[in-house]
Every structure is written in C-alpha cells, then in structure tokens.
C-alpha cells in the first residue's frame, strides 16, 4: 500500500548519477556505478515510504523513540579540562612534526570544470 504512494519521479537517473559521480571525483566502473545507483534509489524509495506514513502535525520531533522530559532527563555533567601531562611524548610519536605541531599531508584537490 505504501509503495503505491512513493514517487518514481524521485529516482536517480543514470545521467544524474553520472553527474554526481563526476562532482564527487569518484572512479567507478559500469558495474559499480549501476550497483551504487540502484542502492541509492532503494534508499530514496525507503525515504519516500516513510514520508507517506501519516503523522500528527502536533507530534514533536525527537531524535530517538523516547522523548526526554524534565523528570527523566539525565543531569548534565560538568566539563572538566585536563591538560596532557607531557604533550611532547604524543608529538614525538607522529611521523612528522615541527615546533611542537603535527605535520599532516595535504589533501589532494581536483579543480572541477
């Protein structure tokens, strides 16, 4: 019953998927691309099915199944700053460092057209 309410127009077409793959700078062969496109469409259909479930507009949004009321809400803990006793030991374990800072490799970037 819910499947009938899903919108097939929201499917990701091969052309749209190819554009997304190019934007993401992915390298996929035809089989990988088609598999991933079908998986994404499957997820999109699942989202459409969830959207089709009638919900009361007064229902508050929650991030989990049990809303936290003041009565059951856990007490907030105080943040406590604890300094590292010897940060030089940590920095000494890294492959590359300079002046007490960890050196990390550059992130490769591709200029898109």
pLDDT at position 62: 67
Q: Among 1, 4, 41, 6, which residue's Cα sits nearest to residue 20?
A: 41
pLDDT digit of tens for each residue in the chain (113 aa)?
A: 444 444 445 789 999 999 999 999 999 999 999 999 999 999 999 999 988 888 888 877 766 677 777 888 888 889 999 998 999 999 999 999 999 999 998 888 877 76
pLDDT at position 35: 96
Q: E strands of 5-110, at which residues? A: 97-98, 101-102
pLDDT at position 59: 76
60 neighbors 67 (Cβ within 8 angstroms): yes
Buried b (16+ CB within 10 A) or exposed e, 26-43: eeeeeeebeebbeeebee
pLDDT at position 4: 46
Q: Among 4, 1, 7, which residue's Cα sits nearest to residue 48?
A: 7
């Amino acid at each position: 019953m819910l499947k009938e309410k899903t919108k097939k127009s929201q499917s990701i077409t091969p052309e749209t998927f190819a554009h997304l793959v190019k934007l993401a700078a992915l390298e996929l062969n035809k089989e990988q691309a088609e598999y991933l496109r079908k998986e994404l469409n499957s997820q999109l259909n699942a989202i459409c099915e969830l959207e089709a479930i009638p919900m009361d507009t007064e229902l508050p949004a929650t991030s989990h199944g049990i809303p936290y009321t003041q009565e059951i809400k856990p007490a907030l803990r105080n943040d406590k700053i604890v300094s590292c006793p010897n940060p030089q030991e940590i920095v000494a374990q890294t492959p590359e460092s300079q002046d007490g800072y960890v050196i990390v490799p550059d992130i490769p970037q591709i200029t898109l057209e």
